[in-house]
Amino acid sequence: MSKKHVTTTVNGDPAEFLTDPATSLLNALRDELGLTGAKEGCGTGDCGACSVIVDGRLVCSCLMLAAEAEGKRIETIEGMAQSGVLHPLQQKFLEHAALQCGFCTPGILVAAKALLDANPDPTETETRYWLAGNLCRCTGYDKIIHAVMDAAADMRQVRRAS
């Protein structure tokens, strides 16, 4: 099977790789580009541990073919902190102890960022439903929800001030 050449943008930088037509975007990110922050928890789009943002849309990278990334803009957990400064969501996850084992955390942070990009002022219910595609088995979600709501409040304040 011949490989396909894919040219894409990952976290703002140009990236290219060769991929089998059947390879998922998740495996291309992890195996070809060395970006192992996105995790495989199920491979069937049920757990959200592989969440990335493609052209502004939240997707399970295990369900997207790597070849489909041609010409797309991909955002992964590795691009969330800018120049070594944590994103407010990352900071709030630390302050609220919103992670235990940390395996689902990259996917949840990416999904939460997609939420706040789309809705800067989500209610608790909206936050819970948006994150319903991201399984966490450790925390019971309580501190995750608090952290996302708190980050959203801080980001709104910063936006108002600027």
Partner 1 sequence: MTDTLDRPATTPELKVVGTRPIRPDGVDKVTGRAQYGADLAMAGQLHGSILRSPHAHARIVSIDTKKARALPGVKAVVTGADFPDLGDVMHDGGEGVNNLGYVSNNVMAKSKVLYDGHALAAVAALSPAIAEAALDLIEVKYEVLPHVINVDAAMAPGAPQIHEDMTYEGQPSNIAKRYQFGRGDLDVAFASADVIVEGEYTTEPVHQGYIEPHACVCSVGADGRADIWASSQGAFMVRSMSALVAGMPVSNVRVTPAEIGGGFGGKTVVYLEPVALLLSKMAGAPVKMVMSREEVFRATGPTSGSSMKVRLGAKFDGTLVAADVDMKFQAGAFPGSPVSAACMTVLSCYDLPTMRVVGWDVVTNSPKVAAYRAPGAPIGAFAVESAMDDLALKLGLDPIALREKNAARDGTVAAYGATLQNIGYVETLEAVRDHPNLQAKLGPNQGRGVAVGFWFNFGGESSASIHLGDDGSATVATASPDIGGSRASMAMMAAETLGVSVDKIRPIVADTASIGHSMVTGGSRTTFATGMAVIQATEKAIEELKRRAAMTWDVPAETVEWKAGAAHCLDVKGEAKSLTLDQLAAAAGKTGGSIGAEVTLTAQGAGPGFAVHVCDVEVDPETGAVTVLRYTAGQDVGRAIHPAYVEGQIQGGAVQGIGWALNEEYVFDSKGKMENAGFLDYRVPVASDLPMIDTVMVEVPNPKHPFGVKGVGEVPIVPPLAALANAVRAATGVRINALPLSPPRIRAAVDAAKA
Q: Does 28 bind partner 1 (CB under 8 A)?
A: no
Please choose, out of 53-61, 65-73, 120-128, 152-160, the segment that lies near partner 1 by the rule CB under 8 A: 120-128
75-78-83-89 Cα dihedral, nearest 10 degrees = 80
d(CA 126, CA 48): 17
> Closest distance between partner 1 and the C-beta of residue 30, in Å?
8
Number of residues that bind partner 1 (CB under 8 A): 58
With binding defined as CB under 8 A, does residue 95 bind partner 1? yes
Question: Which member of 70, 137, 156, 158 binds partner 1 (CB under 8 A)?
Answer: 137
Which among 67-75, 96-104, 114-122, 154-162 is the span making contact with partner 1, rule CB under 8 A? 96-104
Among candidate residues 66, 64, 65, the one with its CA nearest the CA of residue 16: 66
Q: Does 134 bind partner 1 (CB under 8 A)?
A: yes
User: Is there a contact between 145 and 130 (Cβ–Cβ < 8 Å)?
Assistant: no
Residue (of 97, 82, 94) closest to 139 by Cα position: 97
